[in-house]
Amino acid sequence: MIFVTGGSGLVGSFLIAALLQRGLPVRALYREQPPSISRAEQVEWVEGDIRDGLGLRAALEGVTHVFHCAGLVSYAPQDEELLLQINVEGAANLVDACLERPGIRLGFVSSVAALGGAAPEQAETVGPVVLDENSKWDLGAHHNAYATSKYLGELEVWRGISEGLRAVIVNPSVILGPADWDRSSTRLFRYAYNEHLFYTPGNINLVDVRDVVDALLSLTLDTKYSGERYVLNGGSLPLREFLTQAATCFGKRPPTVAVPDWAAETIWRLEHVRSILTGARPLITKDTARAGRRATEYRTRKVEQALNMRLRPLSETIVWCCAGLRQATSVGHLQTSF
């Protein structure tokens, strides 16, 4: 029996489909209602919450492998406490539940955000920051709340490993896949579809959800690796180039107006004040305004060698995502949802 958290999310939904394709029995956690995914009737759905330790213990009855895909991605200041509850306390609860059932194997989805940023010796260098699985988290540096929560969540897995848990960790960059236009990275495609004129200078690191699922499945089910982490990144693109490729796939006009750094700095400050006064979520935060200003290279040599795999080129991923989004979503929804 395979247990999956975050089954309604991008990685979780593709993972469940791949597990069913292998003919494996799947039990998955949901909060409000089971997601509408392909072959959902073949899944044993369990209502619960990753923050409920007792519920997780019960859900692991008879389970041999666990895939932890649940998590919160947010850069809004009002979500800092929720990030700790879901990404850290949730991970701790799952690790504790796994430790109570010796023999369980855990595949844990983290993020490249948990790798930290430039090492002190790289801080003053010119050129891209280079990060891999051996990168060290700088406790003295500034990290946003999301990155901190992913790092602390990973620490819970390492704690479990030190206590005998067999586990592997994957660290994907921004994951691309045809999914809900209103959630996560798919909003980037919606932005391109709606022909917005503005873009911010800087780069974005991206990876295909199919590569994330393939690596996670292989590492967890097909190998005996444990106590290892693996960076998953298909490459880096300037944000304008990504939006241009996506817009071209949709037959739309790409963005043409760069937002200078000083304007982005002004906007996020205004948005911060607005969010305080109204309670609304800011459309842009300090972290999102400054993201990608310095190029970052995430090296994937370790997973490529471990699994003899080559990650898909981003151009192929973008075309696949656009085709899936056009097919799955009505034109009226696309035009009015942003």
Question: What is the reported pTM?
Answer: 0.90
CA–CA distances in Å: residue 211 to residues 30, 52, 231, 243, 261 = 24, 30, 11, 21, 33
Edge-to-edge, what's the strand order for the sheet holding 228-232? 43-47, 26-30, 2-5, 65-68, 105-109, 166-172, 228-232
pLDDT-derived band at 331, boundaries 50, 70, 90: very low
Contacts 24+ apart (CB under 8 A), 139-144: 141/116, 141/117, 143/116, 143/117, 144/75, 144/113, 144/287
Q: Which has the higher per-residue pLDDT, 294 or 135?
A: 135
**Radius of gyration (C-alpha) of the chain in whole angstroms:** 20
What span, in angstroms and rounded, lies between the C-alpha atoms of 246 and 82? 32
Please provide residue 42's backbone torsions phi and psi, each rounded to the nearest 5 degrees: -90, 0
pLDDT tens per residue, range 224-244: 999 999 999 999 999 999 999
pLDDT tens per residue, range 2-55: 999 998 889 999 999 999 999 999 999 987 777 777 777 888 999 889 999 999
What span, in angstroms and rounded, lies between the C-alpha atoms of 260 and 102? 54
pLDDT tens per residue, range 116-132: 876 555 555 556 889 99
What span, in angstroms and rounded, lies between the C-alpha atoms of 32 and 29? 10
Q: What is the full DSSP assignment across 31-74?
A: SSS----TTGGGEEEEE--TT-HHHHHHHTTT-SEEEE------
Q: How many CB atoms lie within 10 A of CB 105?
A: 21
Strand partners, 68: 5, 108
What span, in angstroms and rounded, lies between the C-alpha atoms of 95 and 156? 7
Q: What is the full DSSP assignment across 191-234?
A: HHHTT--EE-SSEEEEEEHHHHHHHHHIIIII----SEEEEE--
What span, in angstroms and rounded, lies between the C-alpha atoms of 221 and 277? 50
At 333 the pLDDT is: 46
Q: Region 137-152: what's the mean pLDDT?
A: 90
User: Worst-scoring range by mean pLDDT, 76-90, 120-134, 253-267, 280-294?
Assistant: 280-294
Give all domains of the chain, ordered by start, each with its CATH number: 2-336 (3.40.50.720)
| Length of the chain in terms of residues written | 338
Nearest in space to 161 (alpha carbons), one of 84, 237, 106, 91 = 106
What span, in angstroms and rounded, lies between the C-alpha atoms of 237 and 240? 8
CB-CB contact of 19 with 10 (8 Å) = no
At 291 the pLDDT is: 66
Nearest in space to 321 (alpha carbons), one of 234, 255, 253 = 234
What span, in angstroms and rounded, lies between the C-alpha atoms of 58 and 52? 10
